Structure 1
Amino acid sequence: MDLNGVGFLGAIIVGGVAGWLAERFMRSNMGLLMNIILGIVGAALLNFLLGVLGIYTGTGLLVYLIVGFVGACILIALARAIRR
């Protein structure tokens, strides 16, 4: 998993914040652990997809937060679509 230069602990913290922000933005009701998972997985997945498309996002905490937020929002939307 590419942590985009933030390290493992940074990925957990920033992933949790990104997941929490996505939860608030998408008006979803999930727990802290799910927020962390969605933020980290969302960031890793979106970074991978952008890399496949040839789009470089850069490194750092802010970039990881933004990519994690967008990725977590996408995962929340997919989970909602699957549940219906």
Structure 2
Amino acid sequence: MLGLGIIGWIVIGGLAGWIASKFMGTDGQQGIVLNIVVGVIGGLLGGFLLRLFGVDVKGGGMIFSFLTCLGGAVILLFIVGKVTGRRTS
């Protein structure tokens, strides 16, 4: 995902964060900036977890990067929901 550049991070992160927030039922609580932040942090989290399992995340392409961000964002929102005690769907 590092090869996408800052604009790629923002666009893919924003989309992934928005879709993850819809999936987890937190969309009403988040704005566009928080969706981008959740998606970008989710991408970092997803990439870290995939590397732990031996998956090469650098050569995955844009769709793989999006799915990594989406999966990481869902995991992030789930963890935040558990820590804060909020119901996530």
Which TM-score bucket, shorter chain as reference?
0.7 to 0.9
Give 3-state SS (helix, strand or coil) of 2:56's partner.
coil
| Number of residue-to-residue matches in the alignment | 82
Q: Deviations over 1:42-76 (max 9, x none)?
A: 11121122113212243322111111111000010
Residue 16 (1) aligns with residue 14 (2): yes
Which amino acid counterpart does residue 20 of structure 1 have in structure 2? W
- Give 4+ residue runs of structure 1 displaced > 4 Å after superposition: none
Give 3-state SS (helix, strand or coil) of 1:55's partner.
coil
CA RMSD, 1 decimal = 1.3
State the Cα distance separating 1:5 from its structure 2 match.
Answer: 2.4
> Structure 2: any 5+ residue segments left out of the alignment?
none
Residue 68 (1) aligns with residue 69 (2): yes
**TM-score when normalising by structure 1:** 0.87
Which amino acid counterpart does residue 39 of structure 1 have in structure 2? G
**TM-score when normalising by structure 2:** 0.83
